[in-house]
Amino acid sequence: MTYAKNAPFRADVVGSYLRPAELKAARADFEAGRIDADALKSVEDKAIVDLVAKQKAAGLHAITDGEFRRAYWHLDFMWNLQGVKRGTAPIQFKGSDGTAVVEAAGVDGEISGEHHPFVEHYRFVKALEDDNTRAKQTVPSPAQTLFVLQQGIAEDANNPYKDNDALAEAIANAYIQVAHDLYEAGCRTLQFDDCTWGAFVSEDFKDTVFGVDAKTVQRQYAAVNNAVIAAVPDDMVVTTHICRGNYQSQWFSAGGYGQVADVLFGEENVAAYYLEFDDDRSGDFEPLAKVSDGKQVVLGLITSKKPELEDPETIKARIAEAAQYVPLERLCLSTQCGFASTEEGNHLTEDQQWAKIALARSIAEEVWADR
């Protein structure tokens, strides 16, 4: 039997986990041509089985593959869409310690979502469910893919899309195909990971995005996400994680949610928001008053970037503060992001990673003991 409830859970996770040493070594061997794809998959399969067992032992209801088959939280998905190629970013974002991410994606023909390998990746985790867990699939949001692909739109020689509206429609249709294939594979929890809103709160994008009024772009990005949400079956829950960057414990932007709250919280039709609130970069809780009725908010109050454990009383006080804007019964708790948005991972150990999850679970059990 599959666990009857669906995400979000009182103690939840964003989805990525630190890669074990054997997996990192196998990926390096594969890139160097020392092992083939089947040998790499064998190592990945074993690592994911071990990871899911640890998630169950930690008392989590949500299980994921830790994104162990990816190098990046977003690009591997994009590269496996039909009509998308690997490339370098015309606009390079630098992390908080100055390291830039240079890899990106570009348009290389008609975009579609047939035969996406993430569907098979999901089936593998689905088979590991039990009567206490649900497998969820994380993907970059449609808006995130639009954000990445439109950067190089003028330079993509094989790009058949004449404007952003046409590109957005193609992306939405590709995602709808993938979402329906995931649904047929048994997926009922789909999470859109989305750094676009985290960028829009920064000084670089708060007024204009690629030369277009910021509010106009926000509405286009909400619309492309909503187009996919509207097309999935009613019993598939679509949530979103909003991030300001999580690259080897670095961040890429800063600013409170006020810049995007009207559109993100009022107009995007997700069931729940996983929001980072682990430090001052994310601002205060006041913008949560814009979260429209019925939606849940997962408070990312425990950082995945640093190993030190938070004070439980401080976290409980912050939950109470957030409950002034969203009722406590619609709140949950998680780390602010995953532990390894890229395969390198954040700067903490696996033991410290599981200690963070144990802390979130113990606090959640106390705060929502009777709910």
| Domain 11-18+59-368 class, CATH top level | alpha beta
Q: What is the pLDDT, as a whole number, of residue 92?
A: 60
Q: What is the pLDDT, as a whole number, of residue 277?
A: 96
Beta bridge partners of 63: 135
Q: What is the pLDDT, as a whole number, of residue 253?
A: 75
For residue 325, pLDDT beyond 60: yes
> Which residue did the predictor score with more confidence, 158 or 33?
33
Chain-wide mean pLDDT for the chain?
93
Q: What is the pLDDT, as a whole number, of residue 152?
A: 67
* CA neighbor of 301 nearest in space, from 324, 286, 320: 320
* CA neighbor of 294 nearest in space, from 320, 270, 325: 270
For residue 128, the one-letter residue type is L
Q: What is the pLDDT, as a whole number, of residue 89?
A: 63
Q: Which residue has the tokens 């649900």?
A: 134
- What pLDDT digit, counting tens, does each position of 238-291 carry? 999 999 878 777 767 778 999 999 999 999 999 999 999 998 889 999 999 999
For residue 183, pLDDT beyond 80: yes
Q: With pLDDT > 90 as the criterion, what percentage of the chain qualifies?
A: 80
Q: What is the pLDDT, as a whole number, of residue 162?
A: 83
Cα(62)–Cα(189) distance, rounded to whole angstroms?
9
In this prediction, residue 94 has a pLDDT band, given cuts at 50, 70 and 90, of: low
In this prediction, residue 139 has a pLDDT band, given cuts at 50, 70 and 90, of: very high
CB 105 within 8 A of CB 71: no
Q: What is the pLDDT, as a whole number, of residue 145?
A: 96
Which residues have C-beta within 8 Å of that of residue 191, sequence separation ≥ 6? 7, 14, 15, 136, 137, 138, 139, 238, 239, 240, 241, 274
> pTM of the entire structure?
0.95
- List the chain domain ranges: 11-18+59-368
In this prediction, residue 330 has a pLDDT band, given cuts at 50, 70 and 90, of: very high
Cα(265)–Cα(166) distance, rounded to whole angstroms?
25
In this prediction, residue 219 has a pLDDT band, given cuts at 50, 70 and 90, of: very high
